[in-house]
Amino acid sequence: MSTSPQEATRIAPAARQASELLELFYPVHYRGNMALEDAMRGELTRKQAAIMWLIRSEGGSSRAMRRKDIFRKLGDWFDITNPAVTKALRGMMRPSLGLVRLAESADSAREKTVFLTSKGERFLGTMVARGHEFMCQIVLEMRQQLGEGEVDYGIRFLRAGVAGYERIDARSAKPGVHLPQRAKRKRARLPAAATNFWRRSDQISQP
């Protein structure tokens, strides 16, 4: 099917922008994001830090998540097995850390819920403070080249990018939608924790 001149005019800038954004994948994901994670996690492993951030993002006011939900989300995120997640949780429960505890779920004695302990709450607060300090350094560095309004626009751009991905992801889950072969095996679902990071970071920046 041929492309109309109007459609070609619309697609051409998007193709160029997509190419430029793709070149940022490595420095943003494998360098920037992992550097932020390293600054936040302290003595925790990456999996343990992810568990803490998942509970913060999706655990509600009780700061708790069902263990099976943590299994599912980390399995998608890191492509790891349930025993590996169990090992991470056990490490977090040891007296040397004492960040989480397990309790029976109200609807099933077999199912467990993971709660943050008071020590876990304090550690999570430290993670947030470390992350905020790290991001402040990045923003101050950017402000040498960009104005405040440009930085705010960049934050809006990232939020719009996350929302755009979520819409595409939701459509791809509908019956009859054909995905690329690798995506059929496991769709790369963006964890809500990643979305909430940008939303919460923006709230922190509000006066």
Residue 204 confidence (pLDDT) above 90:
no
The first and second tokens of residue 115, run together, are 């709660």
As a whole number of angstroms, the distance between CA 70 and CA 107 comes to: 17
Percent with pLDDT over 70 in the chain: 81
Domain spans in the chain, listed from the N-terminal domain onward: 17-205
Instruction: Work out the burial of residue 157: count CB atoms within 10 Å of its CB; fewer than 13 is exposed, 13-18 middle, 19 or more buried.
Output: exposed
Q: Please tell me the predicted confidence (pLDDT) of residue 188.
A: 44
Determine the pLDDT at residue 202.
45
Q: Which fold has domain 17-205?
A: Arc Repressor Mutant, subunit A (1.10.10)
169 class by beta-carbon count within 10 Å (0-12 exposed, 13-18 middle, 19+ buried): middle
CA angle 49, 153, 205 (to 5 degrees): 50
Q: Is 85 in contact with 71 (CB distance < 8 Å)?
A: yes
Strand-pairing partners, residue 114, are 65, 102
pLDDT recorded at residue 98: 97
Q: Flag whether pLDDT at 132 surpasses 90.
A: yes
Residue-wise pLDDT tens digits, 145-199 = 999 999 999 999 999 999 998 899 888 876 655 544 444 444 444 444 444 444 4
pLDDT of residue 171: 87
Q: How far is CA 10 from CA 4, 5, 6, 17, 160, in A?
A: 10, 9, 6, 12, 19
29-47 tens-digit pLDDT:
889 999 999 999 999 999 9
